[in-house]
Structure 1
Amino acid sequence: MPGPALAEPRLASCALTRTDAHHSEGVDTWNSSYVRPDHPLDAVLVFLSFPDSAPRTTPAELTSDYFPATSQFFERASYGKFTVRPHAQRDWIRMPHTSRSYAIQRDWNADRRAAYLRDAVTAADKQVDFSRYDIVYFVADPDAPGVDSDATKVVNLDTPLRADGKDIRRVVTVFEKHPPDRLVLAHETGHVFDLPDLYHRPSDGKGDWDTYVGDWDLMGSQFGLAPDLFGWHKWKLGWLEPSQVACVRGAGATRLTLEPLGAGPGEGGSGSGTAGAEASGAGASGSRARSHGSSGSSGSVGAYGSSSGSGVSSGSGGSDVTGVRSYDSGVSDVAGGVEPYGLGARVFGSGRGTKLAVVRTGPDSVLAFEARGPAGNDDSTCAQGILVYRVRNETESGGGPIEVLDAHPHSESCWEGSVYPALADAPVALGESYTVPGEQVRIEVEDRTASGAWTVKITTG
């Protein structure tokens, strides 16, 4: 469905086109069939009980399972631009049929699911004015015998339900246990805003689900150590200003300053720095690493105890790159190869608050670069540095539309807490460089500013 244009003209060359793929990662336009979270939204929580089970919890207890945690996650992720305002019903609403009769499960029969939703809307409509709300959460009694916690999901309706003069196009159906999985409602709410699943679901239901992005985005796992939304998603949702996205074009080298993605207003990390500015350590305290086994690389040991072979090198790697152009805040289209610089020269930053750098790699793909560290929703991160990932706009939700590129492919970190230790140390650390496999793109992480921002050099071509 067509929507309003989102990308500034300067950013058009880096803004992937939105496609027909389910939850496409295109950012040139917004899909107007979804509500855009660029302002506070009102959500109703409707608590559903069943004739075959007497609830052992109260609506108030279940509300506290999800709020304020869900609102706080989005407030931090959006830098205060968005929040979910919950409106929880105080009483249970009785469904007309038993919990088992709906055959609730992850891959739910469409007719049974439709019957459940129709019954829920009809039962709740006597007490709920659906016209007042942007988001609908149907929360089932977690102790009812027919409730399956694996069935929690967002249901998108081809034919909307109608209540109180309003079309209900999607509903979040919650079947979680009490207490629920951490941040599960925030993950499902992300789908309400057209964000895709970033996990990999094995065909046999076994194996690892977190191979695409590991801990690095809520839409990959609500259990992640660093679950803040990718900068690409924040751009899509309207939480980044045009001046906070740097579109790197042309062959050559570009130096810029990236503010930590999780740092909100007044938290530091903005502005340009100078070479040799005070820098904090590159590894998160307490991180642990174990080797997959080296392929014989003689690369030096970098942060987190990982080998820096296979595309990662410490320091500049001997590269003598000239031709770097700095740019002013608000100018988000960067061409390499203009102004030479020398050793010890000023490190040119992008002005205040640049969160995301993008390099186009094809008609349907880009590389994205962002600084991740222990701030905001990432306060439990395993490692910090510049995270590199690939975005594809033609790939469906669940098929890997975003893939994190591992700057330390022969090591793992934080294996006691990470959802996928192989990617827990993926960021390029201070003093390291990384060449993207199969692409003529290289990033060098040169310094930290006194405020905590990262000065990097991206070379293309």
Structure 2
Amino acid sequence: VLVSPNAGPSALDTVLSVTFSGNDEAPTADGVPLSNTSFVYSRQDDGSGSYAETGYRVLPHENGHVFGLPDLYTMEGGGSVGHWDIMSEDWGANNDFLAWHKWKLGWLDNEQISCASGPGVSEHTLGPLATEGGTKLAFVPLSAQSGYAVEVRTAAGNDEAVCRPGVLIYKVSSDVDTGQGPVSVADATEDSGGCTRRPNVHAELSDATFRPGQTFTDRANGVRISVLDEDDDGNYRVRVTRP
């Protein structure tokens, strides 16, 4: 990772960054391709703290590319994930990685994943992603390339910007390329305008989480994911119904 903090416009205006990961467009130095290399460059304004507050969140985003994670924002500027993963929005308030990405990186082991692959009804108890130990992700496969991921997000750890704690449900499509929407968050409160007024946060999806009594339905695939209740320790019980 090469950081050049005074080589571009003010980080208060924009933070420029790029990662060359496994492609033919990587520049070369002394004949060696700089693949799996991140460049982050913006000018720090004395006293503004802008780079310190913004640039350091760009570093884990770009480093995520080095480890193979895709861009979750879309090249057309649309938001399908919002502030629920640093591969989507890497500026503004703190935000964590999705449990799906933490599993891919090896930060969650297989024992912390609950799979709803069989037909019928199954129940899953999920602990907050920010706490240590326990089951963190329930996955509902749809095909060899796609499925629904279910996790609990709270205003703790790296998720200080969470304004509506609850169950986050999103579709993962591994056959969709980076920057084209490989992950899409289901919004429990569509067209609400969101619950946050923090700058640089996609507000509409900030209240996307499902609360007890709410159900997500995918009629095309016959999948229903219902949030049943929350216990005193912040664990949520969800019910998955599938054909």
Secondary structure of the corresponding residue to residue 219 of structure 1 = coil
Aligned to 2:62: 188
Contact 1:160 1:168 in 2 (8 A): yes
The residue identity in structure 2 corresponding to 1:243 is: E
Correspondence 1:12-411 to 2 at 5 A: 136-142=1-7, 151-156=16-21, 158=24, 161=28, 168-178=34-44, 179-180=50-51, 181-182=54-55, 183-202=57-76, 209-223=77-91, 227-265=95-133, 353-411=134-192
Number of corresponding residues: 229
CA distance in structure 1 between the aligned counterparts of 2:93 and 2:179, rounded to whole angstroms:
20
The one-letter amino acid paired with 2:20 is V
CA contact (8 A) 2:9 2:43 kept: no
Shift of the alpha carbon at 1:168?
4.8
1:439 aligns with 2:221: yes
Equivalent position amino acid for 2:2 in 1: Y
Q: CA deviation at 1:186?
A: 1.6
User: Hey, what does 2:195 align to over in structure 1?
Assistant: 414
CA distance 1:226–1:404, shift in 2 (3 Å)? farther
Q: Does 1:429 align with 2:211?
A: yes
Structure 1: give runs of 5+ residues left out of the alignment: 1-135, 203-208, 266-352
Instruction: Give 1:257 shift.
Output: 0.6
Deviation at 1:225, TM superposition (A): 5.1
Counterpart amino acid of 1:360? P
| Matched position secondary structure for 1:376 | coil
Is residue 210–residue 221 contact of structure 1 (8 Å, CA) maintained in 2? no
Q: 1:138 to 1:211 in 2, by over 3 A?
A: closer
| Residues 82 and 202, structure 2, Cα contact 8 Å, conserved in 1 | yes
Counterpart residue identity of residue 221, structure 2: E
Distance 1:364 1:447, change over 3 A: same
Q: Please state whether the residue corresponding to 1:387 is helix, strand or coil.
A: strand
* In 1: Cα distance, 2:203 partner to 2:110 partner: 34
* Helix, strand or coil at the partner of 1:169: coil
Between the aligned residues of both structures, percent identity stands at 36
| CA–CA separation in structure 1 for the residues paired with 2:130 and 2:6 | 35
Question: Distance in 2 between the 1:366 and 1:162 partners?
Answer: 41
Describe the shift of the 1:225–1:367 C-alpha distance in structure 2 as closer, same or farther (beyond 3 A). Answer: farther
Q: 1:167 to 1:362 in 2, by over 3 A?
A: same
Q: Could you tell me which amino acid in structure 2 is paired with residue 188 of structure 1?
A: E
Change in Cα spacing, 1:143 to 1:365, as seen in structure 2 (3 Å) is: closer
User: Structure 2: any 5+ residue segments left out of the alignment?
Assistant: 45-49
CA contact (8 A) 2:211 2:227 kept: yes
Distance change (3 Å), C-alpha of 1:138 and 1:362: same
Cα deviation, 1:290-333, whole Å, max 9, x if unaligned, reads xxxxxxxxxxxxxxxxxxxxxxxxxxxxxxxxxxxxxxxxxxxx
Give the residue type in structure 2 aligned to 1:248.
A
Cα contact 1:160–1:170 (8 A) shared by 2: no
**Partner-residue secondary structure (3-state), 1:389:** strand
Say which structure, 1 or 2, has more relative contact order (CA 8 Å, 6+ apart): 1
CA offsets per residue over residues 424-455 of structure 1, 9 Å max, x none? Answer: 11111123222235331112212222322111
Following superposition, the deviation at residue 222 of structure 1 comes to 1.4
Distance 1:192 1:152 in 2: 13
Q: Verify the 8 A CA contact 2:95 2:161 in the aligned structure 1.
A: no
Taking a change above 3 Å as real, the CA distance of residues 452 and 151 of structure 1, as seen in their structure-2 partners, is: closer
Whether contact under 8 Å (2:20, 2:34) holds in the other structure is: no
> Does the Cα contact within 8 Å between 1:213 and 1:403 map onto a contact in 2?
yes
Confirm or deny: 8 A CA contact 2:95 2:160 kept in the other structure: no
For 2:47, the equivalent position in structure 1 comes to none
Q: Specify the code of the residue in structure 2 equivalent to 1:141.
A: N
TM-score normalised to structure 1 length = 0.46
Alpha-carbon separation, structure 2, partners of 1:411 and 1:383: 13
Counterpart CA distance in 2 for 1:415 and 1:387 is 16
Which is higher, the Rg of structure 1 or of structure 2?
1
TM-score (norm 2): 0.84
Deviation at 1:160, TM superposition (A): 8.0
Measured at CA, do residues 257 and 422 of structure 1 come closer, stay the same or move farther in structure 2, by a change above 3 Å? same
* Structure 2 residue matching 1:378: 3-state secondary structure: coil
More strand by share: 2
